[in-house]
């Protein structure tokens, strides 16, 4: 069964940094685009970023471009999200998902990031 | 404010049918494949429908999708209490260069 497990969430102070990881198993990781999506408390889903199977192409939502960086290590079947200059508006559950350029076929359970002093 | 517009909530009785709409524009639904996702809070979202009307394996045929112009519709028939969840439409927006989601529709099975 396809599995995605996010980790690295937690409490961080405003202006701080955090790196999220998403470990994949039971599918050919390098074949798939990987996405990050977040859900702020009481709100809907918001797409943040995606990275191509070989890592050569990345895209970002305007609201996070320049502060968040997506990367992947296909040897470790893991995708990462480096988050810098965090603010209260970044408090959310962060999901990783695998699919193609526009479709998210399978998702992880999410990891909670709380930005607070 | 979401790029794709969904009703905030819908409700129906068990066994009945419910329709959830998703309205967009030519730069998203009108020109790019749309998917529907089911999300029970605290769990991983699930792909329900892709490319407007296709079901991944394991998704029952009670769930169906369609598209008309720059809008799409998710229909759930034979409602079950287990269908209570938030439903999101999503697609690529060629103008924004981003994946966009609707605001989500909370389904209540009365």
Q: Is residue A78 within 8 Å of A72, Cβ to Cβ?
A: yes
Spatial CB neighbours of B42, under 8 Å, sequence gap ≥ 6: none
Q: Is residue B74 within 8 Å of B49, Cβ to Cβ?
A: yes
Residues of B whose CB is below 8 A from A110: 44
| pLDDT, tens digit only, all 117 positions of chain A | 999 999 999 999 999 999 999 999 999 999 999 999 999 988 999 999 999 999 999 999 999 999 999 999 999 999 999 999 999 999 999 999 999 988 999 999 999 999 999
Burial A39-57 (b: 16+ CB within 10 A, else e): beeeebbbbbbbbbbeeee
Residue whose structure tokens are 């439903």 = B87
CA quadruple A46, B97, B89, B4: dihedral sign: positive
State how beta strands B105-109 and B9-12 pair. parallel
**Displacement of CA B79 from its chain's centroid (Å):** 15
Please name which of A86, A70, A68 lies closest in space to residue A78, comparing C-alpha atoms.
Answer: A70
Average pLDDT in chain A = 96
Residues of B whose CB is below 8 A from A109: 43-44
Please state the three-class secondary structure of B39-80 as a single string.
ECCCCCCEEEEECCCECCCCCCCCEEEEEECCEEEEEECCCC
How many helices (H) does chain A have, and how many strands (E)? 0, 11
Asked if residue B28 has pLDDT above 90, the reply is: yes
pLDDT at position A85: 96
Query: B106: nearest CA in chain A?
Result: A44
Rounded to whole angstroms, the maximal C-alpha distance in chain B is: 40
Asked if residue B1 has pLDDT above 90, the reply is: no
The pLDDT tens digits of the residues spanning A25-45 come to: 999 999 999 999 999 988 999
pLDDT at position A90: 95
pLDDT at position B87: 98
Confidence of residue B41 (pLDDT cuts 50, 70, 90): confident
Residues of B whose CB is below 8 A from A103: 33, 35, 47, 50-51
Report the Cα–Cα distance between both ends of chain A, in Å, rounded.
Answer: 39
């Amino acid at each position: 069964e396809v599995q995605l497990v996010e980790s690295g969430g937690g409490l961080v102070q405003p202006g701080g940094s955090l790196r999220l990881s998403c470990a994949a198993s039971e599918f050919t990781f390098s074949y798939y685009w990987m996405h990050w999506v977040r859900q702020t408390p009481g709100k809907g889903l918001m797409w943040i970023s995606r990275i191509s199977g070989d890592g050569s192409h990345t895209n970002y939502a305007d609201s996070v471009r320049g502060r968040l960086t997506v990367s992947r290590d296909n040897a470790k079947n893991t995708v990462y999200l480096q988050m810098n200059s965090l603010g209260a508006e970044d408090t959310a559950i962060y999901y990783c998902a695998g699919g193609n350029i526009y479709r998210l076929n399978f998702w992880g359970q999410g990891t909670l990031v709380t930005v607070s002093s | 404010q979401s790029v794709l517009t969904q009703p905030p909530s819908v409700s129906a009785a068990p066994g009945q049918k419910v329709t959830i709409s998703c309205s967009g524009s030519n730069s998203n639904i009108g020109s790019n494949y749309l998917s529907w996702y089911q999300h029970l809070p605290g769990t991983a979202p699930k792909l329900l429908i892709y490319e407007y009307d296709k079901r991944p394996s394991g998704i029952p045929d009670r769930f169906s999708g369609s598209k008309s112009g720059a809008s799409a519709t998710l229909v759930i028939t034979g409602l079950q209490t287990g269908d209570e969840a938030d439903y999101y439409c999503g697609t690529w927006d060629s103008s924004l260069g981003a994946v966009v989601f609707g605001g989500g529709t909370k389904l209540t099975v009365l």
